[in-house]
Amino acid sequence: MNLPILTAVLLGLVLTPALADHHQQTEVSKKISFGGGYQLMTINRKWLVASIEQKTNHGSWKTIWNYDTGFMATKVLPEKVCYLSIMNRTEMPSFDALPQLAADIRNHNRPRPPSKEITFTLVKRTIRDLESYGPDTFSMCRGLSTYVAYEVHGPQFSLGSCIKLDVLQYLALTYCHNDNFV
């Protein structure tokens, strides 16, 4: 047998499983449709990052959860802003549970309200060094006003106007402007 052909065949046999395994470990995407729109979840297993994006007739948003760094970023349109906060790992689904959560939602015939909610108050402090929060956050929020969002508990806060994002029918992320935010 010709040596270059044998080498190419052997190299293909060795690399094909390795490349397939790399792709399986890196990206997983799930699309969840509902009346008037859909949510698309993409998981990067290598970097421990999950991205959930919603597209509807009433508005769109995207949230990135970085399980490695513990930060999450949320872009809200048409406001053209990003909010950056620390992930509450006790309230949020675990990274490994995300694919099953998406599969469970796809199996339900009708939407249901989120079972958990995290409320944030926004601080009028612009984040300037987006690169330190990772390439996904930098890419999503670059060019947009990006603010710090702090988790709040209880009725002691005057939250003002709020926007609520229903993520995978599991978690509501509620971002509120207080009176001093304008």
Per run of 10 residues, the mean pLDDT along the chain (length 182 residues) is 42 42 62 82 94 89 96 92 94 92 76 87 85 93 93 71 90 84 52
Q: How many CA atoms lie within 13 A of 12 on its CB side?
A: 6
What 3-state class would DSSP assign to 120?
strand
User: Quick one: pLDDT at residue 106?
Assistant: 75
User: Quick one: pLDDT at residue 18?
Assistant: 43
Question: Which residue is listed with tokens 């597209």?
Answer: 55
pTM score of the predicted model: 0.80
CA distances from 182 to 37, 125, 129, 147, 177 (A): 30, 11, 22, 12, 8
User: Quick one: pLDDT at residue 7?
Assistant: 38
**DSSP state at residue 133:** G
| Residues 35-67 pLDDT 10s | 778 999 999 999 999 999 999 887 899 999 999
